[in-house]
Structure 1
């Protein structure tokens, strides 16, 4: 069953649910709709910049689109947020992605 309509239906009741927005963005990535995925990630991070898991996926999406500068910026912001939240695993993932791109 297509999960996108299900997630959208749930978002009608809770439009600012960061978990649902993140899940919807991942579903869009699965079907190759990076534009819609990017929109979801950007809306989510504008509303809840501490949702650190989305920085990695948004950065990878930007890399695929050839926007390396944008990806670097997203990784840097994500690392900053992960460090502030003491989320070491997320920080390490973001740092690894950042270093692969920069070095």
Structure 2
């Protein structure tokens, strides 16, 4: 286990509702090719902090990698709706492009 992974787990243990820490832990698992653990962290973040905008692009991309395109499409659509609601033009553009790419690949 990497030192960074250990630190993130420890910090998340102290602050279990910290969305950024959960996201960072998911990304670290992803980096270490622990796909199921990364997906678990993204799913927990999605459930507990659905307003965390950074979640949608990365979660859907990993779902696609894991051949879960239908779920990825749903995540993209929800992220697009949230970006529209919050006025986050950058995230909206990224999510729309990613969704289009997924649609073209199906």
Give TM class, smaller chain: over 0.9
Partner of 2:14: 13
Mark the runs of 5 or more structure 1 residues left unpaired by the alignment.
Answer: none
Q: Is contact 1:50-1:82 (8 Å) kept?
A: no
| TM-score, normalization by structure 1 | 0.95
Partner of 1:24: 25
Equivalent pairs, count: 103
Alpha-carbon distance between aligned partners in 2 of 1:28 and 1:12, rounded to the nearest angstrom: 16
Partner of 1:69: 70
Alpha-carbon distance between aligned partners in 1 of 2:57 and 2:3, rounded to the nearest angstrom: 24
- Tell me the C-alpha RMSD between the 2 structures: 0.9
Alpha-carbon distance between aligned partners in 2 of 1:82 and 1:8, rounded to the nearest angstrom: 29
Q: Runs of at least 4 residues of structure 1 off by over 3 A?
A: none
Shift of 1:91: 1.0
Alpha-carbon distance between aligned partners in 2 of 1:69 and 1:46, rounded to the nearest angstrom: 18
Mark the runs of 5 or more structure 2 residues left unpaired by the alignment.
Answer: none
